[in-house]
Chains A and B, each alone.
Chain A
């Protein structure tokens, strides 16, 4: 692998944090190495294996954080299938909403991921989309304030209509564009569907588990590709670092969104994205 061990661990930390913060992990994985002048060969089998390991670490951290809830949701879904009927049980309602919301992003991800990333994989595009990501968060907050003012909505995930659940799930597909955050898009989607910040973030993190987990599991063969073993130590250590960072991030964000909004993340994305875009335009970033 072209990266040193320290650079690999920095990337792992960045991935673990930025995957769940609404700031686009994909955008940062392009912009930060470009700013730091790291040589990253994205087609190198050992680097691809390293990236798969980071996603696996993040997905495992999410499963561990929500382990009790996932157990209740999967049990409720199974009971529902065996019974052949829907009930009004909370975990079952949340579970089916997660299923229908994951389908569109799964279809779009499999079909469009590579073409989109080949088209928009540059630092310029990542910077531009990151700035747009910030504007989208401001727009989401503005529309929500216009609707509710200082009041908080009391709607829960289980009370959200199925069509709106699908719309929130669909919004995650925009994260195929480097710079657009998956969690940012789904939290804004949740806010526009009358969830409060805490509930929207909760739904976003639950939605993240099958999306990140499936993306990692489908890429597992890359871990055993010829040349991938070169980065075995980096991949293992990176998965652990990314997992710990993701666990701490989701713990922090679930508390944060109980009282605060997307504003600070919007400012960060807008300023950092705009700077990177300008630097890329004038040829400083490549």
Chain B
């Protein structure tokens, strides 16, 4: 699961860069600002990293 979380983080981070550059878009509409999508994807990358962090020691205290 940790590998999956790290892979997701990387994928979201790269997708964020690509939306910032305008290479890809999450919507068909040109009205939606690409930087909003970039921020969203980077937040998802951050959450994936946090998920990976929890995979190190899943035991509850």
Contact = CB atoms under 8 A, between A and B. Distances in A.
A139 interface: no
Given A84-B57, A88-B60, A218-B39, A114 B47 contact: no
Contacts of B61: 83, 85-87
Contacts of B39: 218
A106 interface: yes
A86 B54 CA distance: 8
A85 B59 contact: yes
B14 to A, nearest CB: 17
A81 B51 CA distance: 9
B49 to A, nearest CB: 10
A99 interface: yes
Given A81-B53, A218-B39, A87 B60 contact: yes
Nearest to B31: A114
Given A99-B47, A111-B27, A114-B29, A85 B36 contact: no
A259 B2 CA distance: 46
A161 to B, nearest CB: 16
B58 to A, nearest CB: 7
B23 interface: no
Interface in B23-61: 26-27, 29, 31-32, 36-37, 39-40, 43-44, 47, 50, 53-54, 56-61
B32 A85 contact: no
